[in-house]
Chains A and B, each alone.
Chain A
């Protein structure tokens, strides 16, 4: 499914920086991150736990609260900078143009309101709609995401995990936004249900033509589902590329190790290594390339001192690695 990259991106993130001010110090959770999401595209964001994926999702929707502070960068959605919007503009903008599906559907639904009420709330907050009409829309939305519309008056706890996740998606779709941010929408679910939901999301995307910023740490799912993928490490974007390309030809040592970290059910059965060590503490990240302490092919002086920037290594494939240009990488790993 080719995406025409000639279009203007729906979402343009430029040099985003986010910090958490904690007792231990400043956590630089997102450091100088830039990427684009194009119309009708699924852009995947992957990386180890704590590398800043959710922080990006929250920054893009501007729902970060202290102690998190956006300390730099721009987030342009359809050309307007979200970070510059006033409260009321933002309130209107959000959900109409961009919505978000949270990590856990269990907690994203208010336990004391029915699913219907929560959908209707979203609709009425933006468009002056009579109650009856809003309810009809809610029924339609449930139908769309594959929930029996008869469940409209059910409370969240009366629904199964899969249904709840669908309900959250229905809320996200309520105002037909152009961009939906999905932060690990299926982690709590079983594979079979996950499969169903991912299929439905894909169908909906094709039907309504929105873009998705898709966040997960399940690489198999990501590769299968996304058009393009960004790999994050310790608050930085280290590689961006179309998914097939990144799966078959990863260029960053971290990505390579990552791709080698999960067994598959059809591929060759081989010994795998994983990545030794642990992700760094973002209060005091390593100097130079943040991955260098765990990197087996790090260049003695350079990687410790010089911070690599994202560079295009092949068409639509960017990598932030000093070795990316040199062929050495291909044989390293």
Chain B
């Protein structure tokens, strides 16, 4: 008894600054054209970043073997590739074997824990794991099966551009890809249906113009030329919203990775937990968030975990943090901590020195041109200077900055961290000492060079069990270790830019009904797929001209 949902229309998308498009529709390319992943190519299962519930796409269920060393997916029946061929287990098996054959395709890092794949029947496959790894279903779930009938003839899938893609997703028909615009239209064979049995998606096409800077992208958004937006916009209420309060909306869910201040824990005085504690207490978090981040996020939780892991946060850890004064702006208290630990101005130059008299001078590194971070760091440095620490802002170029962090040639720096459906991803990225190699940090954000058997132990234990209670206990301990040791100083969870214009299309996630992360650029958790399948024209006339 639902109202007929209007169909058709071209939704116009903007992600802020965007490089000109090239026709690279190989999802296993390091950097394929936008909308290749999670709209053209579908995963097996993705877990909603908001709430974490599974959304089944090419699989309909998954089960671990009793020994946790195998993972079986039941595949969806009746799915057709965009060229009309049927999708089945052979495609999944083929794709994994292809990855094994060409490790250059292994973006998900599957080979680190998957040994082989077995086809059970046409719609069942079993992955045989090389070790117990209870996050396997999340990672394997994101893996994109390729059409065997097309890719089996591809000589080198690593360098294959795949200009005419064959995929199962809702948008597969590329109608324009050039230096100015990308336009992809619906897959006539798409399997998805809404409750009323209507074929999905409702929209005909997605069009993303190239904006070479944030500025033109924002002007276009303010002008109402775009429908689905992932731009950073300063002063958004007075510009974007004010231009059309009725239809222009935004919601910057702070569900991104936590931005932290990393200190090089191998060097004095940063190796001293009291010093780090003082730093944490000295920072004016509210100003950082309000000024540096335009008020678009919230101060971070001392455990480092953001809203995406809300359900995991341990009250005990929070209490411990509170008793230490962490994450609360209090210059006087911070100064007192430093005084007590012996960091006083020994040489009378107005700045504090180390207990042995060595002057403390440290630049806080931040990438040149990342203006929100630069402003944040400026405020952080002001806070540090206020308690007598000789800090300054240093803005190397991105490449240089990254290199400094990877090789440990820095004292203090702002930096990102990973986030995932469980806190494991965050702590793994920040603390896993196996990621620190002689040449530098392999990957992740273990820039603080924190080495501890305790935390390493929690990380391995967590993925070795599938029992949620055990996992929660491990994570509680982990959080406690984080707040007592302060290996990094969390500043704020990363906001996710997302605006929408209701005048032509509707069905976007709203603040009240935030059914998934709304940003059109979101690719990791497949949130984009969920939005794509829901949006539709407001009425029959609203998006006729597209």
- A touching B, CB within 8 angstroms: no
A: which residues have CB within 8 A of B?
Answer: none
B: which residues have CB within 8 A of A?
Answer: none
